[in-house]
Amino acid sequence: MSQTSVSYVHGVSLTPLSYQTIGQNFDEAVARWGDREALVVRHQNLRYTYREFGRAVNEVAAGLLALGLKPGDRVGIWSPNCAEWVLTQFATGRAGIIMVNINPAYRLSELEYALNKAGCAALITADRFKSSDYLGMLRTLAPEIEHAEPGKLAAAKLPDLRAIIRLGSDKTPGMYNFSDITKMGGPEQHRQLEEMAGLLQPDEPINIQFTSGTTGAPKGATLTHFNILNNAYFIGEAMRFTEADRLCIPVPLYHCFGMVLGNLVCTTHGATMVYSGDAFEPLAVLEAVQAEKCTALHGVPTMFIAELDHPEFKRFDLSSLRTGIMAGSPCPIEVMKRVQSEMGMHEVTIAYGMTETSPVSFQSSTDDPLEKRVSTVGRALPHVEAKIIDAEGRVVPRGMKGELLTRGYSVMLGYWEDPARTGEAIDPGGWMHTGDLATLDEEGYCNIVGRVKDMVIRGGENIYPREVEEFLYRHPKIQDVQVFGVPDARYGEQLCAWIKLREGMEASPEEIKAFCKDQIAHYKVPYYIRFVESFPMTVTGKVQKFVMREEMVAVLGVSEQKSA
State how far the alpha carbon of 156 is from the alpha carbons of 112, 153, 159, in Å: 11, 10, 6
The predicted pLDDT at position 216 comes to 60
pLDDT for position 301: 87
Reduce the DSSP state of residue 68 to 3 states and report it.
Answer: coil
SS3 73: coil
Q: Is 459 left (phi over 0), alpha (psi -120 to 50) or beta?
A: left
Give the CA angle between residues 217, 218, 219 to the nearest 5°: 115
Instruction: Please determine, for residue 476, whether its predicted confidence score (pLDDT) is greater than 80.
Output: yes
Domains of the chain: 3-16+220-451 (3.40.50.12780), 22-203 (3.40.50.980), 456-556 (3.30.300.30)
Question: In this structure, how many other beta carbons lie within 10 angstroms of the beta carbon of residue 369?
Answer: 13
pLDDT confidence band for 56 (50 / 70 / 90) = very high
CB burial string 328-365: b at 16+ within 10 A, e below? bbbbbbebbebbbeebebebbbbbbbbbbbbbbbbbbb
Q: Is 528 exposed, middle or buried (0-12, 13-18, 19+ CB in 10 A)?
A: middle
* Terminal C-alpha separation, the chain: 36
3-state SS, one letter per residue, for 452-515: CCCCEEECCEEECHHHHHHHHCCCCCEEEEEEEEEEECCCEEEEEEEEEECCCCCCCHHHHHHH
Q: Is the pLDDT score of 1 beyond 80?
A: no
Does 359 sit behind a cis peptide bond, omega within 30 degrees of 0 on the bond before it? yes
Question: How far is it, in rounded angstroms, from Cα 140 to Cα 525?
Answer: 49
Mean pLDDT of 482-494: 90
Burial class (CB in 10 A: 0-12, 13-18, 19+), 83: buried
Residue 399 has pLDDT above 60, yes or no: yes
pLDDT higher than 70, residue 540: no
| pLDDT over 80 (residue 562) | no
pLDDT digits (tens, 9 = 90+) for 247-278: 999 999 999 999 999 999 999 999 999 999 99
Instruction: Give the integer Cα–Cα distance in Å for 97 and 205.
Output: 9
3 state SS of 298? strand
User: What is the reported pLDDT for 370?
Assistant: 84
Look at residue 80 and tell me whether its pLDDT is greater than 90: yes
Q: pTM for the full model?
A: 0.87
Q: Write out pLDDT tens, residues 498-513.
A: 999 999 999 999 999 9
Q: How many whole angstroms separate alpha carbon 169 and alpha carbon 546?
A: 41
> Which residues lie below 8 Å from residue 329, measured CB to CB, with a gap of 6+?
300, 301, 302, 541, 542, 543
CA distance 443 to 382: 15
Predicted pLDDT of residue 3 = 64
Cβ–Cβ under 8 Å, residues 107 and 83: no
Q: Is 215:92 a contact under the CB 8 Å cutoff? A: no
Q: Quote the DSSP letter at residue 411.
A: S
Instruction: Name the residue among 249, 248, 235 with its Cα closest to residue 360.
Output: 235
Q: Tell me, what DSSP letter sits at residue 84?
A: H
| Rounded-to-integer distance, Cα 84 and Cα 253, Å | 11
Evaluate the CA torsion angle 548, 554, 555, 557 in order and state its sign. Answer: positive
Task: Give the helix, strand, coil percentages of the chain, each rounded to 5.
Answer: 35, 25, 40
How far, in Å, CA of 206 to CA of 199, rounded? 14
Lowest mean pLDDT among 19-33, 356-370, 541-555: 541-555
Report pLDDT digits (tens) over 315-366: 999 999 999 999 877 778 888 999 999 999 999 999 999 999 999 999 999 9
User: Is there a contact between 135 and 91 (Cβ–Cβ < 8 Å)?
Assistant: no
Confidence band, pLDDT 50/70/90 cuts, at residue 144: very high
Q: Residue 302 — pLDDT band, cuts 50, 70, 90?
A: confident
Least confident of 194-198, 321-325, 460-464, 538-542: 538-542
Who contacts 40 (Cβ-Cβ below 8 Å, separation ≥6)?
46, 47, 246, 272, 273, 274, 275, 292
Share of the chain above pLDDT 90, in %: 83
- Give helix 187-199 / helix 83-95 axis angle, nearest 10°: 70
**DSSP sequence for 103-131:** -TT--HHHHHHHHHHHT-SEEEE-S-BTT
Q: At what angle do helices 187-199 and 22-33 cross, to 10 degrees?
A: 110
- Calpha distance 463→401 (Å, rounded): 12
Pair 316, 266: CB distance under 8 Å: no
Flag whether pLDDT at 563 surpasses 60: no
Distance CA 94, CA 62 (A): 9
What's the mean per-residue pLDDT of the chain?
94
pLDDT band at 496 (very low <50, low <70, confident <90, very high): very high
Is residue 2 scored above 70 in pLDDT? Answer: no
pLDDT class of 166 with cuts at 50, 70, 90: very high
Rounded distance between C-alpha atoms, residue 200 and residue 23, angstroms? 9
User: Mean pLDDT across the stretch 50-77?
Assistant: 98
**Contact by Cβ (8 Å): 303, 329:** no
